[in-house]
Homo-oligomer: A and B are copies of this chain.
């Protein structure tokens, strides 16, 4: 029951081979392990959760990226178990799984990045993981042999769709999308996948998100590109204000295609397409958020800096009272004021603040706007896409944050998650 989740169609990225299997980590037996094999020309950068209790795979990713210089050959992703809060045994186990995949693919262990998502505080089932890894590696090897048989675009695209499903937990739909741009007369493809649904207020990354391009880009440009894009995409969403222990956002340039660097005139074209992929995926996470019945965009302008605009936007987007009012299609302007007012913005002058619901001016001069009626507000709130505009009336910067409503289904999903 995602809210208008309508992503641009996906295309394969040359230099990435995907295998998805059911390792038996999820109780329902659906796919729960994805292995991505990358071309030996690939350069990879990533950002991770700022949560103190970061998961074992996050710790290992940081360690491996520190020594491999971006030379990553494989991603090992499992859903159903987060391998977080598992101490040294959890780290040792993840290291063993990376080693197993590295041996099977004949690549160095530090070129294998592990990722996990699911229940926190339980050790991974070691045997099932190893059996799943062996099966995925064998499938990739077999595919190399049979390459001719499945080289049709549709067949290859199915691997991407399977992978987007394999990383899901409480998501109801896979999130997979592409943009293709022309660089120096050649097409460059950017394809991303993400999973989210709950425990979503990423801090420098989101739950799990993987973006691939066939362009050849060096590590410095690639890292700067990722950092600038996550600020307006994955770092601008919230379901429930809760920051996961396992957030990771990975950007891979396989280097199989066109060479590209930040001094080229085409760089803004590439950045624009990358931003589109990441923004669509991030907003897709919200559209498919746990229990979501509305997609809410909170736009805050007129601030002194981006930080205070985001602070106000998150105060609104995380307020349980605002979110329950959204669920009820209730034009409760008072709760919006409450949320703006609790954001602790120093010296904010209430009389300079304006609030609009969609195009309807609701609040100005410290009071309800003349001409505003409940009926006009209710008409905006009855839609499943709601825009809230707040102008702080004191500066020139702006920021947007995207969120879902708080429904009975959110409570049901999270009260029942482990049972």
Chain A residues packing against B (C-beta within 8 Å): 50-54, 82, 84-90, 119-122, 198-199, 201, 203, 240-245, 318-321, 324-325, 327-328, 330, 332-335, 337-345, 348, 350-351, 363, 365-368, 406-408, 410-412, 414-419
Contact = CB atoms under 8 A, between A and B. Distances in A.
A342 B53 CA distance: 8
A367 B52 contact: no
Contacts of A414: 320-321, 324-325, 328
A52 to B, nearest CB: 4
A343 to B, nearest CB: 8
B120 A240 contact: no
Contacts of A203: 342
A342 B120 CA distance: 14
A89 B369 CA distance: 12
B121 A337 contact: yes
B85 A337 contact: yes
A119 B415 CA distance: 30
Nearest to A198: B321
Contact of A53 (B54, B89, B340, B365): B340
Given A120-B337, A320-B414, 4 more contacts: A53-B341, A199-B338, A241-B241, A408-B408
Contact of A334 (B52, B85, B328): B85
Residue among A85, A122, A339, A406 having the largest count of chain B Cβ atoms under 10 Å: A85
B242 A320 contact: yes
B241 A324 contact: no
B328 A87 contact: no
B87 A366 contact: yes
Nearest to A348: B52
Contacts of A119: 334
Contacts of A324: 410-411, 414-415
B320 A85 contact: no
B121 A243 contact: no
B328 A416 contact: yes
A419 B367 contact: no
A245 B321 contact: no
Given A321-B240, A368-B86, A337 B245 contact: yes
A199 B244 contact: no
A90 B368 CA distance: 11
A320 B406 CA distance: 10
Given A85-B333, A328-B416, A337-B53, A242 B319 contact: yes
A182 B191 CA distance: 75
Given A242-B321, A243-B341, A321-B240, A419 B330 contact: yes
Contacts of A82: 334
A406 B363 CA distance: 30
A348 B343 CA distance: 25
A419 B381 CA distance: 14
Contact of A121 (B86, B90, B334): B334
B90 A367 contact: yes
Contacts of A418: 330, 332
Nearest to A346: B52
Contacts of A368: 85-87, 121-122
A407 B376 CA distance: 31
B327 A245 contact: no
B348 A85 contact: no
B320 A240 contact: yes
A418 to B, nearest CB: 6
Contacts of A244: 338
A219 to B, nearest CB: 28
27 contacts: A50-B344, A52-B342, A53-B337, A54-B341, A84-B337, A85-B337, A85-B363, A87-B351, A87-B365, A120-B332, A121-B368, A203-B342, A240-B320, A241-B318, A243-B341, A245-B334, A320-B414, A325-B414, A328-B415, A330-B415, A330-B417, A330-B419, A332-B417, A407-B411, A408-B408, A408-B411, A411-B411
